[in-house]
Structure 1
Amino acid sequence: MNPLIPLLAGLALVAPASSPTTVTTDKGVVRGTVTASGTRSYQGIPYAAPPERWASPQPAARWAGVRDATRPGAACAQPAGLPVGVPSEAEDCLYLNVTAPAGNRRNLPVIVWIHGGSMMFGTGDMYGPDRLAADAVVVSMNYRLGVLSFLTHPALDSGSRFGSGSLALEDQQAALRWVRTNIGAFGGDPRNVTIMGQSGGGYAVCDHLASPVSRGLFTRAIIQSAPCATGGSRTRASAEADSTGVISAVGCTDKPDIAACLRAVPVADLLAAYDVWSEPRPVAGTALLPLSPADAFRTGRFNRVPVMIGVNHDEENGRYAAAPPIPADSYPATVGPEVLAHYPLSDYDNSASLALATIATDRDWAVPTFDTALLLSRWTNTHMYEFAEHDTPWFAGYPAPDLPWRAQHMAELAYLFDLDLFAPRTPAQDRLAARLTTTWTNFAADASPGWHPFTPARPLVQSLASGRWTPTEFLDDHEYDLWSPHA
């Protein structure tokens, strides 16, 4: 071993090579690029070997010479269906990307981004992290999605010591182990790693908090639009039930060797057989995930690191904005008298679509996110926010709807990342983007986003929008007493 490689807590922190764009990792040398913004970018680094189908990730092989790291790795296999997706049939997809500030800065906080997309769609590289990387080292990864991660059957259990149905979580843990070993070579501090995810990626953060296998792989967590109190995992029975139809559709149900049959099925056929709108989750009740996130947080049996958790004020507005208008005269019968009393149509410009979007946001997002923060705050340092900006970019290439989309699901991502998914930001939106990225990197640095913690005695939720940031009247605004089972 090179005597210049220091040792810290038993971890090899590999020293950078002489070139500003060349770094030595534990598997070999990579050469990246310097971006227009001055950051150093390394893409397509293998954090695991090309995986066997429905088998746990294995260590990547060493390589000789200098590996080109200027292009991202292939997107993991996923169907067409969402703008956030990248249609792909690739199984060799376990690659990550590192973006670091220019210069030879050391011991920077590390942010590991786990992309969303319902654990069905997406890639790490589509989220441009240059602004977050002004004062942090940012890592994103691809991980197996949909049918190639979550298909669950006894015949597939031997592929993992945890059983089938949770490979996305195993892949992410392999990426976090790569970070622990290698991130020092890129200027990051392996003792200061924040995992951060939104939507499906946020639920993955919930799972890492609850997984004993993830213990020690991160020191802080950011959960965006993922109310762990009502999601993050599923039962083995539910996972097997969802998989039965897929196995039948590809003709493997009655085969003497179901696993061999499934491994011979073309990827395209597997993708076609899996529900494109499925919301798969890892299986709870295993050594990988003994408890659901909700039960882990309720009992305190989770990795107790500082957590920042948040929700968008208008999560469902985008979905209802993109759908055909709902007739106003159908609204009273749709919601019933009790809900109608709390959400009169007159409060929503006589728009049933806007009223129903508000109901769905409060019931399915805002209230369970508050309850998740309440569970966490009994055991660990917790901060909660609500992204509440009204003037947010709409999706690029799509006509703007009549319904106000405001702080819809994913809206905050346009401020934290440079994303082709959204129309370009305005100067005013750029100013809010600068505040948000600073807040996120401050939390990654020292767990202090800039407002008081959320506690059971003082459940403060900070509103983040243009103008002065203040606590919000969250419980009244989202009809907490109507929707929470704990009210």
Structure 2
Amino acid sequence: MRRESFGRRAVTVLVAALVLLAGCARDDDPAASSPSPPADPALVQTTTGTVRGVVAPDHRLFAGIPYAAPPVGPLRWQAPAPAPSWPGVRDATRTGPRCLQDGSDLEMGRQTSEDCLSLNVWTPPPSERKRAVMVWIHGGAFINGSSGIYDSRWLTTRGDVVVVTLNYRLGALGFLAHPALGPPGAVGNYGLQDQQAALRWVRDNIANFGGDPGAVTIAGESAGGMSVCDHLVAPGSEGLFRAAVIQSGPCQAQLALPEAQRASVDYARDAGCTDPRTVATCLRALPADGLRKPVWFYRIGDDALSGPVTGTKVLPVDPMREISEGRAAKVPVLIGTNHDEFTLFVALEYLRSKGPYTEARYPQLLSSTFGRNAAAVAARYPLSRYAGSVPLAYSAAVTDGVFACVADRMTQGLAKQDSVYAYEFDDRGAPAPDPLRSLPFPVGASHSLELRYLFDIGGAPKLNPDQQVLSDQMIDAWSQFVRDGHPGDDWPAFDAQEKRLSLRPDGSRVKTDFDQARQCPFWAGLEE
């Protein structure tokens, strides 16, 4: 697999999947007392001031709450600073702006700002009983997406948990690792530090929203899932959560510091900042709109992403190595992938180019993605096995090599530490947006489509009755995992038999042949 800059197209894809479907003082023991329900449930006191949210009969929402200072001016490319206090009551009825991103998403980069470090808190009605908390980290290849996509009412009302969704710096503003921006090893990963700041905010404030700061689960999909992998090994994340959920996380896509620095120097040069004596000042003086273009760190064929950097103060180690060798945080983990992850990316590329995937193009696609291993992959994934369909053969190869078998490797490593519950989302009729339903090949259970079963995202057809049952089952399992560290009696832990739950609308079932069906021994051999 070639490691280069994850190109503009991959980035757009990870975010388009979602859009198309749609540090302060703390008390010594915040959980020591259970305060009575507030007189006005719309008002909550935080460490920086009072917020007024929205109260509905079955839930509350407090939106757009700053968890760190605006990362602008001299704070650009710095660790997040504490949020300033405000007088009076702050309106918390609307989500804050999305973090600055390029115009490749369907919103064309609108509703964005460099001042974006806010979060949203979804709660059940007030009660004397504190609820467990899920902190959701959005996907989008680290260059797109936002907290506002994820309406969390279902997890809150049916699952009886508090849900926090957050924004974090993206693209160049979140991950540029130019050596001039800080001391050696202390550059990059600003977006990852934002997530840690949000977790500290949860620790210090969530009790006032009815949440239990000692019962926090971090969760995320795609780039968000990859972020969860990082928090499992990052020193600054230790003690901020007790369980983790990793959905479709390409956790192998971390870049080492020397390569990230080279890409970042090239980025600064292209932005007109070349003098080593003044490059940091030059970069911080650039207008925000001049920094919408992401810095690219990892590439899969035509798809690419920005993202975290290893060998740094914030992320000293490679998460894949630490997880595989059983050195990650000792917490229960829920982890899984979708049956047809990469068909979404192929579908969006097909729609953009409006060109056929011909048989002659298949070797080129494999070469651009797998390099010197392309011929071996072609032999394992011949077109004849997929009725001659290039999109389906190529998607199957990348799904297995980049998502499924990476998750299998992580699952085995995590199981050395604590209980692990593995799944494969396999509703091949999952609702998809109109453009994806008119293609000459099915997208199946593709990347991000499981999110529609957990969050009210919109932008796609409603679930049919069987799918609604699956949605309810998934909400119950995810919320029970957040509450208790396991997703229910019908979901066995991953063990020597490698039990996984196949999530299906015609009845979920336990399977033990995932690694063989996904040809994981073959992919492991390519890594050696």
Fold match (TM-score > 0.5): yes
Q: CA deviation at 1:422?
A: 3.1
Change (3 A) 1:83 1:375: farther
Flag structure 2 segments of 5+ consecutive residues without an equivalent. Answer: 1-25, 298-302, 367-373
CA distance in 1: counterparts of 2:325 and 2:314, whole angstroms: 17
CA distance in 1: counterparts of 2:234 and 2:502, whole angstroms: 30
CA distance in 1: counterparts of 2:32 and 2:250, whole angstroms: 34
Q: Does the CA-based 8 Å contact 1:368-1:484 persist in structure 2? A: no
Q: Which amino acid aligns with 2:515?
A: L
Identity between Structure 1 and Structure 2 (%): 39
After the TM superposition, which residues 39-54 of structure 1 pair with which residues of structure 2 at under 5 Å, given as runs? 39-51=59-71, 52-54=75-77
* Bigger shift: residues 190-199 or 326-335: 326-335
CA distance in 1: counterparts of 2:249 and 2:227, whole angstroms: 9
Cα offsets for 1:75-103 (capped at 9, x unmatched): 11111113488545511111000000124
Structure 2 match to 1:428: 466
Q: CA deviation at 1:424?
A: 3.2
Structure 1 match to 2:163: 138
Cα offsets for 1:267-326 (capped at 9, x unmatched): 111224745964122222233212110122234333211111101110011222331432
Q: CA deviation at 1:330?
A: 5.2
Q: Does the CA-based 8 Å contact 1:14-1:26 persist in structure 2? A: no
Normalising to structure 2: TM-score of the pair?
0.84
Q: CA deviation at 1:349?
A: 2.5
- Please say if 1:400 is aligned against 2:438: yes
- Please say if 1:371 is aligned against 2:405: no
* Bigger shift: residues 127-136 or 280-289: 280-289
- Of 522, 525, 528, the residue aligned with 1:482 is 522
Structure 1 match to 2:291: 270
Q: Secondary structure at the match of 1:286?
A: coil
Q: Secondary structure at the match of 2:218?
A: strand
- Of 361, 364, 384, the residue aligned with 2:399 is 361
- Please say if 1:302 is aligned against 2:328: yes
CA distance in 1: counterparts of 2:375 and 2:483, whole angstroms: 49
Structure 2 match to 1:63: 86
Q: CA deviation at 1:476?
A: 2.5
CA distance in 1: counterparts of 2:155 and 2:337, whole angstroms: 20
CA RMSD of aligned residues (A): 2.6
- Of 184, 199, 204, the residue aligned with 2:227 is 204
- Please say if 1:315 is aligned against 2:315: no
Q: CA deviation at 1:462?
A: 1.3
Q: Does the CA-based 8 Å contact 1:250-1:273 persist in structure 2? A: no
- Of 328, 340, 359, the residue aligned with 2:359 is 328
- Of 87, 92, 99, the residue aligned with 2:122 is 99
Report how many aligned residue pairs link the two structures. 477
After the TM superposition, which residues 55-134 of structure 1 pair with which residues of structure 2 at under 5 Å, given as runs? 55-83=78-106, 86-87=109-110, 89-104=112-127, 106-134=129-157
Change (3 A) 1:157 1:105: same
Normalising to structure 1: TM-score of the pair?
0.91
* Bigger shift: residues 354-363 or 423-432: 423-432
After the TM superposition, which residues 430-469 of structure 1 pair with which residues of structure 2 at under 5 Å, given as runs? 430-450=468-488, 451-455=491-495, 457-469=496-508
Cα offsets for 1:42-69 (capped at 9, x unmatched): 0011111112211111111222211110
- Of 43, 46, 58, the residue aligned with 1:25 is 46
Q: CA deviation at 1:389?
A: 0.6
* Bigger shift: residues 267-276 or 388-397: 267-276
Q: Secondary structure at the match of 1:149?
A: helix
* Bigger shift: residues 421-430 or 304-313: 421-430
Q: Secondary structure at the match of 1:210?
A: coil
* Bigger shift: residues 73-82 or 269-278: 269-278
Structure 1 match to 2:10: none
Q: CA deviation at 1:187?
A: 1.1
Flag structure 1 segments of 5+ consecutive residues without an equivalent. Answer: none
Change (3 A) 1:15 1:205: farther
CA distance in 2: counterparts of 1:279 and 1:268, whole angstroms: 19
Cα offsets for 1:321-361 (capped at 9, x unmatched): 33143223554797676545543433323212111111111
Q: CA deviation at 1:10?
A: 9.1
CA distance in 2: counterparts of 1:340 and 1:54, whole angstroms: 43
